[in-house]
């Protein structure tokens, strides 16, 4: 028998959880809920960490947590702080805009975000040299402040409108320049945390001022709490820590090494680092490079893959999560992150924006979506913009599908790193100055629009694993020779390398506009084998200097974009202009294409059209092992097996001017 357990701000945890006698806290209900039960939460604000005691038993016997229909429910990792006192006046005649408060450390318990530094593997440094950053945060009416290094800097904050982007070596804007003048500093003693904050004209005792207190707001403390659904909440203001792939990866919300979670229809924001984590746990490595310094982080990450297999990393126990229709913004590291725990998951219909734009700290694990070991993961129809990086797939991207996503206004849109494939990137709008960077091999790129550059880099000093198809079992490992890619029916709109990489352009020799970066690679597998046969006798030494094959046909190129020299039937366009217009909840693609665009037609692409990848010796397949069918355009319109369609992500794209709503 299933039960509905009610929670309300007017309730009591000594009640029975009925509609007439609801519980007061969600976490208390979470300790009572049994498989098949629903925890129905009513209107109001809940300041707590929900840590479910048990999970469901299957998709049909879940435990569901949801906001009552039509009611706004907020779960916060913060507490309201009052009792602020003005700090010393800046002049004899001007009251100080700086206030301070002493917070008893009992409020935090064993975890004080204002004492916890942002540290861990692949944290490079704070953006501002010499300043340590912490997990704490201060919010005025929901607006997060910036941490500074001393009380004096709180009195005289420096307004930053730009910071240096460490990848491109260029200056980039802070997303809300005025916010940089809203700053805080904290000093932690054994009993008290003193916080100074500059509120400008606001009186913090009359306005809503909060500080983050809890690491997470919805996250089990135990592993294998399976088949949980979290639906319809606002979740915010958690002190989630830096979450690299070589560490425990807690987030504001997440399953913590489990199977079958559904996180849907939520608004999630102001996670200090990660909002949704579908990542690994600590026993397979927890920042050992930072703690020990005896081996590269790369080596510890490689070890974590094998350690995970020893504790049951497989489809029966881990992954298969669904993350859909969420709005996620204002997080310091990632909207969605995960290593190992993300396998077989689906990420769809989410709106992700303003990720890692405060730029208080910098590291190599920052993106809207950052996944390692994305085996059989589908990332479909997400809107990702105003992020430091849109989607970053790092290590073991295999059986992965990135389809029908709208990416624009990011520093970079899509980065696939040290993976062997097979993976499919299809019918995406990639409108940022850097559209794709591939430090990988074995990809299939079909029907995309690239308004920016394509980066192609070999990685010969890091061997990474590949797997048996649709499995977590390791089949081997290899370095990245580059290429072994397929490009069919894409539109290259003619971006500029200088626009993409700024002052770094002269040193980034792997950036191209179009597919000309593959020049010199053989166009068939037989041609590749002939090149191998021509090498002197030997074994492994015959392969590194022989370029892998590429399979490139029926792409359109405009402006500075240039095709692969041996491409079959490329189309050069005299003009092609694309503009993405962001109009609140709507995104429009405006196009002006030369008449010749209509002369290029592309048939339906399936697994039969995509040669197998070389290292993994695997075909392009759906999750069930059937040949992949790439039959759906950006707007969800199906393609007929006997039809022909224009290049690019839209079935209706044609010459002349057009304006098409893409979100």
pLDDT tens digits, one per residue of 3-59? 999 999 999 999 999 999 999 999 999 999 999 999 999 999 999 999 999 999 999
209, 79 Cβ separation under 8 angstroms? no
State the DSSP H helix or E strand holding residue 612, giving kind and residue range, or none if neither.
none
**Which pLDDT score is estimated for 494?**
84
Q: pLDDT digits over 69-105, tens only? A: 999 999 999 999 999 999 975 444 457 899 999 999 9
Cα 134 from Cα 131, distance rounded (Å): 10
Q: Give the contacts of 273 (CB within 8 A, at least 6 positions apart).
A: 118, 135, 240, 241, 242, 243, 251, 331, 332, 333, 334
Q: How far apart are CA 518 and CA 490, in angstroms?
A: 15
Cβ–Cβ < 8 Å for 351, 155: no
- Give residue 93's pLDDT: 46
pLDDT band at 359 (very low <50, low <70, confident <90, very high): confident
Q: Could you read off the pLDDT of 98-127 as tens digits, one per residue?
A: 999 999 999 999 999 999 999 999 997 665
- The two three-digit tokens of residue 61, written as one number: 């016997």
Nearest Cα residue to 208 out of 69, 337, 56, 45: 45
Give mean pLDDT, residues 221-233. 98
Angstrom CA distances, 107 to 48, 78, 208, stand at 12, 10, 18
Domain boundaries, the chain: 4-76, 79-212
3-state secondary structure of 53: coil
Question: pLDDT category, 506, cuts 50, 70, 90?
Answer: very low
Say if residue 160's pLDDT is above 80. Answer: no
Q: Report the pLDDT averaged over residues 481-486.
A: 98
Model confidence pLDDT, tens digit, residues 305-344: 999 999 999 999 999 999 999 999 999 999 999 999 999 9
SS3 content of the chain, % helix, strand, coil (to 5): 10, 40, 50
| Residue from 195, 209, 191, 85 nearest 150 by CA | 195
Strands 644-646 and 601-603: antiparallel
Q: pLDDT grade, residue 177 (50/70/90)?
A: low
Query: Which CATH architecture describes the domain 79-212?
Result: Sandwich (2.60)
CA distance 351 to 662: 13
Which pLDDT value is given to residue 92? Answer: 45
365 forms beta bridges with: none
Q: Where are the alpha helices (DSSP H) in 225-371?
A: 288-292, 297-310
Q: What pTM, to 2 d.p., does this model score?
A: 0.96
Measured CA to CA, the distance from residue 399 to residue 344 in angstroms comes to: 9
pLDDT band at 362 (very low <50, low <70, confident <90, very high): confident
385 neighbors 354 (Cβ within 8 angstroms): no
Contact 569, 554 (CB under 8 A): yes
Are 415 and 392 contacting, i.e. CB atoms less than 8 angstroms apart?
Answer: yes
Return the pLDDT at 467.
98
Q: CA-CA distance, 456 to 247, in Å (whole number)? A: 29
Phi, psi angles (nearest 5°) of residue 202:
-85, 145
Q: Sign of the CA dihedral 540, 546, 550, 555?
A: positive
Helix, coil or strand: residue 300 = helix
Confidence of residue 62 (pLDDT cuts 50, 70, 90): very high
The overall average pLDDT reported for the chain is 94
pLDDT band, residue 534 (cuts 50/70/90): very high
Tell me the pLDDT band of 507, cut-offs 50, 70 and 90: very low
Band the pLDDT of 128: cuts 50, 70, 90: low
Q: Which residue has the tokens 């090494």?
A: 257
Interatomic CA distance for residues 419 and 439, integer angstroms: 8
Question: What does the pLDDT average to over 242-255?
Answer: 98
Residue 361 to residue 132: CA distance in whole angstroms: 9
With vertex at residue 74, the alpha carbon angle to CA 71 and CA 80, rounded to the nearest 5 degrees, is 135
Contact call for residues 623 and 470 (beta carbons, < 8 A): yes
φ/ψ of residue 654, rounded to 5: -150, 175
CA–CA gap between residue 411 and residue 415 (Å, rounded): 11
pLDDT digit string, tens, across residues 407-449? 999 999 999 999 999 999 999 999 999 999 999 999 999 999 9
Q: Decide if pLDDT at 498 tops 50.
A: yes
Task: Say how far apart CA 405 and CA 390 lie, in whole Å.
Answer: 10
Question: Residue 250: phi, psi to the nearest 5?
Answer: -75, 150
The closest of 356, 407, 414 to 172, measured between CA atoms, is 356
pLDDT of residue 575: 86
Q: Are 384 and 364 in contact (CB under 8 A)?
A: no
618-643, pLDDT tens digit by residue? 999 999 999 999 999 999 999 999 99
Output the CA angle 41-45-50, nearest 5 degrees. Answer: 60
Residue 136's pLDDT is what? 98
Among residues of the chain, what percentage have pLDDT more than 90? Answer: 89
Which residues have C-beta within 8 Å of that of residue 488, sequence separation ≥ 6? 444, 445, 446, 447, 551, 552, 553, 554, 555, 602, 605, 609
């Amino acid at each position: 028998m299933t039960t509905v357990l009610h929670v309300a701000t007017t309730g009591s945890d000594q009640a029975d959880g009925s509609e007439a006698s609801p519980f007061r806290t969600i976490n208390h209900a979470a300790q009572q809920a049994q498989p098949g039960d629903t925890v129905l939460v009513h209107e109001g604000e809940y300041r707590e960490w929900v840590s479910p005691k048990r999970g469901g038993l299957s998709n049909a016997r879940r435990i569901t947590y949801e906001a009552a229909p039509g009611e706004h429910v907020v779960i916060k990792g913060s507490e309201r702080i009052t009792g602020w006192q003005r700090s010393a006046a800046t002049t004899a005649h001007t009251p100080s805009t700086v206030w301070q408060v002493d917070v008893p450390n009992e409020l935090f318990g064993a975890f004080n975000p204002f004492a916890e530094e942002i540290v861990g593997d692949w944290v490079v440094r704070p953006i501002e040299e010499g300043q340590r950053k912490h997990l704490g945060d201060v919010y005025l009416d929901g607006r997060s402040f910036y941490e500074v290094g001393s009380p004096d800097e709180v009195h005289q904050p420096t307004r930053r409108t730009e910071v240096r982007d460490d990848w491109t070596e260029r200056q980039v804007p802070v997303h809300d320049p005025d916010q940089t003048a809203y700053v805080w500093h904290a000093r932690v003693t054994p009993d008290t945390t003193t916080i100074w904050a500059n509120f400008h004209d606001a009186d913090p005792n009359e306005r809503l001022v909060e500080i983050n207190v809890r690491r997470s707001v919805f996250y089990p403390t135990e592993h294998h709490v399976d088949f949980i659904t979290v639906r319809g909440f606002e979740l915010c203001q958690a002190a989630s820590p830096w979450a690299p792939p070589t560490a425990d990866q807690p987030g504001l919300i997440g399953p913590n090494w489990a199977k079958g979670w559904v996180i849907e229809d939520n608004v999630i924001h102001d996670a200090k680092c990660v909002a949704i984590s579908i990542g690994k746990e600590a026993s397979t490595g927890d920042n050992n490079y930072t703690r020990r310094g005896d081996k590269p982080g790369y080596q510890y990450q490689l070890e974590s893959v094998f350690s995970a297999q020893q504790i049951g990393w497989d489809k029966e126990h881990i992954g298969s999560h669904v993350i859909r229709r969420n709005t996620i913004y204002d997080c310091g590291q990632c909207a969605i992150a995960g290593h190992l725990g993300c396998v077989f998951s689906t990420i769809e219909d989410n709106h992700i924006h303003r990720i890692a734009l405060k730029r208080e700290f910098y590291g190599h694990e920052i993106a809207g979506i950052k996944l390692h070991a994305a085996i059989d993961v589908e990332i479909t129809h997400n809107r990702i913009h105003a992020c430091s990086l849109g989607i970053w797939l790092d290590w073991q991207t295999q059986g992965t599908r990135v389809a029908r996503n709208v990416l624009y206004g990011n520093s970079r849109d899509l980065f696939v790193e040290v993976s062997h494939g097979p993976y499919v990137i299809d019918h995406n709008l990639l409108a940022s100055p850097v559209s794709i960077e591939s430090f990988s091999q074995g990809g299939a790129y079909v029907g995309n629009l690239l308004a920016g550059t394509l980066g192609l880099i070999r990685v010969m000093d890091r061997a990474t694993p590949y797997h048996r198809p649709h499995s977590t079992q390791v089949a081997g490992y290899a370095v990245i020779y580059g290429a072994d890619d397929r490009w069919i029916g894409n539109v290259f709109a003619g971006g500029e390398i200088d626009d993409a990489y700024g002052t770094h352009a002269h040193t980034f020799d792997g950036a191209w506009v179009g597919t000309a970066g593959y020049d010199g690679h053989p166009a068939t597998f037989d041609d590749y084998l002939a090149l191998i046969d021509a090498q002197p006798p030997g074994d492994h030494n015959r392969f590194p200097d022989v370029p892998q094959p590429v399979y490139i046909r029926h792409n359109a190129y405009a402006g500075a974009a240039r095709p692969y020299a041996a491409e079959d039937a490329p189309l050069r366009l005299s003009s092609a202009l694309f503009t993405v217009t962001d109009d609140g909840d709507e995104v429009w693609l405006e196009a002006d294409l030369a008449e010749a665009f209509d002369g290029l037609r592309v048939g339906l692409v399936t697994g039969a059209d995509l040669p197998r990848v070389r290292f993994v010796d695997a075909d392009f397949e759906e999750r069930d092992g059937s040949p992949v069918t790439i039959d759906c355009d950006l707007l969800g319109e199906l393609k007929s097996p006997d039809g022909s369609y224009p290049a690019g992500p839209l079935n209706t794209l044609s010459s002349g001017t057009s304006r098409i709503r893409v979100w």
